[in-house]
Chain A
Amino acid sequence: MSRLDVRKTYKLYIGGKFPRSESGRSYEVVSATGEFLANAAMGSRKDVRDAVVAARGALAGWSGTTAYNRGQVLYRVAEVLEGRRAQFALEVASSEGLSARAANAVVDAAIDRVVWYAGWTDKIAQVLGNLNPVAGPFFNVSAPEPTGVVGILAPQSSSLLGLVSVIAPVIASGNTAVVVTSASRPLPAVTLSEVLATSDVPGGVVNIITAQTAEVATWLAAHRDVNAIDLTGVAGADGVDWAALEAEAAGNLKRVHRPTLLDGVPVEPDWTADPGLTRIRAFVETKTVWHPKGL
C-alpha cells in the first residue's frame, strides 16, 4: 500500500505567526485545470486590521536596521527560496497552469528578483538622495526614508514572480507590508510566508492574507494606519472598483501606486521586464535636513 501523504493546512501569516482566519472561513482553491488543491483561509476585515497592527509594530525595528542588514536578510530569503525550488515549481505549475519547465523558469526569475532587490537596499539612498547646493551657509541633504506601512494588493495572475516583485521593493527600503494575495492563486504566497518566517525577516514585516480581493481591499484602502497602497492586484480581480479604492485611500492621503493601465483598463505588468526603480520610489519619502555651517 502506498503511503498516504501529509497535506499542509494553508493559513494566514500575521506578525510572524500562522493563524487561521479569525472568521473561521476558508475557500476552495483549485488548479488552473479545476482540480481541488487546498482549502485556503479566507481572510476577513479583522485579519486585515490585525495585520496592520503587526506591520505597524514591526516598522520601527525594520526601518531602523541598517540597509546592509536588510540586504543580507533579503538575500537570505533568496537562499531559502532556492532551497525550496521544487515545492514552488509544483505550486506555480498547478496554480498558473504552466509546464514544469515554464514553472521552473518562473521560480528562477523570482529568486533572481529577490537577489536584485537585496542588492538595492544600501544603494537606494545614494541613488535617490543627494546634497543640495543651497545659496547660503548651510549643509543641506535630501535622502529617502520608508513611507511606513504599505498595503499591497498582489497580482492576481503571477502567483510567485509577481508576488515577490511587489513585496521586495517595499521592504527593501524599510517599509513593512500587509499583502492581500491573488484570490484564486494564493498557495505560492502561503509557502512564501514560510520562507519569510525562516529567513530572519522579523515577524510583522511582511503579513500575508489570503482572501477575496474585493472583500478586504476596501478595508485596507480605508485603514487610517496604512501609509501607502499598491493597487497592482486590481487587474483581473473580480468585482474590484479601483477608483473607489483610490478614493478611500484619500481619507488619510495614502500614497497610491496605481495599477498599470492599458487604454484606461488595469492590466497586469510584464513581470519579466526590468523592474527599474519605480516601485522603490513609490514607497519612500524624501526628507531634507538643513544645518548652518559656521565657526
Chain B
Amino acid sequence: MDLTTMQDSILPLLSALPNTLMLTFVSVFIGFCLAIPFALGRLSKNKLIAQACYAYVYFFRSTPLLVQIFLIYYGSGQFVKALEAVGLWHFFREPWFCAILALSLNTAAYVCEIIRGGILSIPKGQWEAGQVLGLSRFDLFVQVIFPQAFRQALPAYGNEVIIMVKASSLASTITILEVTGVAEKLIAETFQPLEIFIVAGSIYLSLNFVLSQLFHLLEKRLNRYLPHGATRTN
C-alpha cells in the first residue's frame, strides 16, 4: 500500500466534500418538502389522488437511482426542442440540476412512505381530541399529528439521510466532481484505486458517523417525554 498516494489524495478528496454535502442536503431538503404532500396524498380518501401518489412511490422505489439519473440527464437530451420551448432546457443541460432532481424525487418516494407510516402510528384519539377542540384540519396536522409522526419516523428518516449521503456518489456518473467523482479522477491519474478508495470511503464513513450521532441526539431530545419512546401505543 502506498501511503504517499493516500496522503496526497486527502486534500483533493476533502475539497470535494462540499459538493457531496451540497448534493445530499439540497436533495434531502427538497425531498422532505415533496414527501409531506405525497404522504398526505397516499392517505387521501380521494382514490385518484391516493393512487397517483402510490404510482409515484412505486416508480421511484422500484427502479435503480442510477437509471433515474441517466433517464433525466441523457433522456432529457432527446427532448431538447420541447424543453427549450417551455424554457426548461437551460436547467436540464446542467448535470447538477439533473442529479439534484433525480436524488430529490427518489428520496421523496422513500420519505413519503416513512412519514406515512409515522402518521398511521398516531392513535385515533389524538385526531379526535384535536377535532373536539375545534382545531382546523391544517392546525390539527401541523400542531398535533405531524410533530408526533415525525418523532415516530425519526429512526427510519435518519437511515434515509445516511443512504442519501452514499447515493450522492452516483452523481459522479454524470460528470459531477463530488467525493467519488474526484476519487475516480485521481485513480485515472495514479492507477492506485485501493489507496484512493480507502480515503474516499473514510470520508463517507466519518460524515455518516457525525450524521448518525446527530440523529441519535435529536431522537433522544425529541422523544424525552414520549411514553415508551418509539414503540408507544395508545
> Do A and B bind?
no
A residues in contact (CB < 8 Å) with B: none
B residues in contact (CB < 8 Å) with A: none
